[in-house]
């Protein structure tokens, strides 16, 4: 699955002028909200509530299936605009930090090898960081480097007090033990949120992870900003990868959705998906989800971004989502586009995690 390729999308819109009407809108929001909260996503522990069960109080939903005419067009959930608002909020917070304590957040990336995709994603992270005032550091290692060299780079960033987030750009070359190296990542700089402790705390009621993985966090923020209520909804996640599908399902559950995960061994996945009020797809299979997979009125969030060669596009390829967009827009009540949906939100969440990490490190609030 080429989930990391979502960052590619960001490249397109990041070239635009940074201060826009939405920047100003976000700024005015931050004036209204005295807590300077950039995101709408609440802390997970604040969502916790006791599961009080009684036989008599079983929730019942008799809402009938929505009817759509042939002219129905789904709302487009514009991640690009939302991410721009969030990034402008981050930029303001970084500025405030710099003016108050003379410090800025720092993000470090370790890149092994010269894979074209990885180079693109890292470049996007660099541009994104620098635009909001986050210091960006990078270590590039050759394809044939030793495990020890990667570990040394990790250790160096772990000990560096001006670095608050470390990303080990995946995938690593085969001769390197990904699990072992990731295990060495300092928990409080794990801005990707992939450390088992963060995943465990994401899963467990009553606990709060230090960082929520960026793509799932971006999807939830996108839903919340679109006014979509998650509690009690039937949510289906397609894909169970450690970096998207799994944490996505855990996060939806913390928001009190009734969650089902579809994976490659699921029988009749179309029928399972058809039950979803909220369908989040991260399979990495272009156009897997077509009309018969969708419940009329469903909210569809497309995380899939498969690059397909296209010489007419700027970088020689374009991105295809998991969802047949044309079909979804006739059936769903809302749908994210590819590109311009989840991708920009993912990069914005990485910057947000880095900012939060720096705030913790500097005890800056």
Please state the closest distance from residue 253 (CB atom) to a second copy, in A.
6
Q: Which is nearer to a second copy, 52 or 70 (CB)?
A: 52
Looking only at residues 250 through 309 of this chain, which bind a second copy when binding is defined by CB under 8 A?
250, 253, 256, 258-270, 272, 283-285, 287-288
Quick one: 153 or 273, whose CB is closer to a second copy? 273
Nearer to a second copy by C-beta: 105 or 321? 321
Does 171 help bind a second copy (rule: CB under 8 A)?
A: no
Q: Does 131 bind a second copy (CB under 8 A)?
A: no
Rule CB under 8 A: say whether 174 interacts with a second copy: no
Residue selected from 240, 295, 330, 352 as contacting a second copy according to rule CB under 8 A: 240
186 counts as binding a second copy under rule CB under 8 A: no
Q: Per rule CB under 8 A, is residue 365 in the interface with a second copy?
A: no
Work out how close the CB of 228 gets to a second copy at its nearest, in angstroms, rounded to a whole number: 16
Interface segment toward a second copy; rule CB under 8 A; list 66-74, 135-143, 153-161, 239-247? 239-247
Q: Is residue 125 close enough to count as binding a second copy by CB under 8 A?
A: no
Site map (CB under 8 A) of a second copy, residues 18-57, x = contact: --------------------------------xxxxxx-x
Measured from the Cβ of residue 248, the count of other Cβ atoms closer than 10 Å reads: 29
Cα(75)–Cα(89) distance, rounded to whole angstroms?
Answer: 25
Is 160 a binding residue for a second copy by CB under 8 A? The answer is no
Smallest distance from the beta carbon of 306 to a second copy, in angstroms?
11
Catalytic amino acids?
A: 125, 169, 192
Minimum CB distance to a second copy, residue 66 (Å): 16
* Per rule CB under 8 A, count of chain residues that contact a second copy: 55
Which stretch, 23-31, 89-97, 231-239, 308-316, contacts a second copy (CB under 8 A)?
A: 231-239
Q: How far is the CB of 31 from a second copy (least distance, A)?
A: 35
Q: How far apart are CA 289 and CA 118, in angstroms?
A: 27
Among 29, 115, 139, 241, binds a second copy (CB under 8 A): 241
Interatomic CA distance for residues 193 and 110, integer angstroms: 16
Cβ nearer to a second copy, comparing 16 with 267: 267
Under rule CB under 8 A, residue 159 binds a second copy: no
For the chain, the three-class secondary structure string (H helix, E strand, C coil) is: CCHHHHHHHHHHHHCCCCCCHHHHHHHHHHHHCCCCCCCCCCCHHHHCCCCCCCHHHCCCCCCCCCCCCCCCCCEECCHHHHHHHHHHHHHHHHHHHHHHHCCCCEEEEEEECCCHHHHHHHHHHHHHHHHHCCEEEEEEECCCCCHHHHHHHHHHHHHCCCCCEEEECCCCCCCCCHHHHHHCCCHHHCCCCCCHHHHHHHHCCCCCCCCCCHHHHHHHHHHHHCCCCCCCCEEEEECCCCCCHHHHHHHHHHCCCEEEEECCCCCCHHHHHCCCCEEEECCCCCCCECHHHCCCCCEEEECCCEEEECCCCCCCEEEECCECHHHHHHHCCEECCCCCCHHHHHHHHHHHHHHHHHHHHHCCC
Which of 59, 64, 69, 70 is close enough to bind a second copy by CB under 8 A? 59
Q: List residues near a second copy by CB under 8 A.
A: 1, 50-55, 57-61, 179, 195-201, 203-207, 231-232, 234, 239-242, 246, 250, 253, 256, 258-270, 272, 283-285, 287-288
């Amino acid at each position: 699955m080429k989930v990391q390729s979502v960052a590619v999308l960001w490249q397109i819109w990041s070239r635009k002028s940074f201060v826009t009407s939405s920047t100003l809108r976000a700024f005015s929001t931050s004036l209204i909200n005295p807590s300077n909260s950039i995101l709408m996503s609440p802390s997970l522990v604040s969502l916790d509530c006791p599961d009080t069960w009684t036989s008599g109080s079983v929730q019942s939903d008799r809402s009938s299936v929505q009817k759509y005419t042939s002219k129905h067009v789904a709302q487009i959930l514009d991640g690009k605009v939302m991410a721009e608002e969030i990034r402008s909020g981050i930029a303001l917070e970084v500025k405030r930090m710099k003016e108050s304590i003379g410090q800025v957040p720092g993000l470090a990336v370790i890149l092994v090898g010269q894979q074209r995709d990885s180079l693109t994603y890292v470049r996007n992270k660099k541009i994104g960081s620098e635009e909001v005032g986050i210091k960006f550091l990078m270590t590039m290692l050759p394809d044939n480097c030793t495990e020890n060299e990667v570990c040394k780079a990790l250790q160096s960033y772990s000990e560096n007090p001006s670095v608050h987030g470390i990303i080990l750009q995946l995938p690593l070359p085969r001769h390197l033990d990904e699990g072992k190296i990731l295990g060495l990542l300092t928990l409080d700089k794990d801005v990707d949120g992939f450390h088992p402790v963060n995943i465990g705390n994401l899963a467990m009621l009553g606990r709060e992870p230090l960082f929520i993985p960026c793509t799932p966090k971006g999807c939830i923020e996108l839903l919340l900003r679109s006014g979509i209520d998650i509690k009690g909804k039937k949510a289906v996640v397609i894909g169970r990868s450690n970096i998207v599908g799994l944490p996505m399902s855990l996060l939806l559950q913390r928001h009190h959705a009734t969650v089902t995960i579809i994976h490659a061994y699921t029988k009749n996945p179309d029928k399972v998906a058809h039950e979803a009020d909220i369908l989040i797809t991260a399979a990495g299979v272009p156009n897997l989800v077509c009309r018969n997979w969708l419940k009329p009125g469903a909210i569809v969030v497309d995380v899939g971004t498969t690059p397909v060669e296209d010489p007419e596009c700027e970088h020689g390829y374009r991105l295809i989502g998991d969802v047949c967009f044309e079909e979804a827009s006739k059936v769903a009540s809302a749908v994210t586009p590819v590109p311009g949906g989840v991708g920009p939100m993912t990069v914005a969440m990485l910057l947000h995690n880095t900012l939060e990490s720096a705030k913790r490190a500097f005890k800056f609030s």
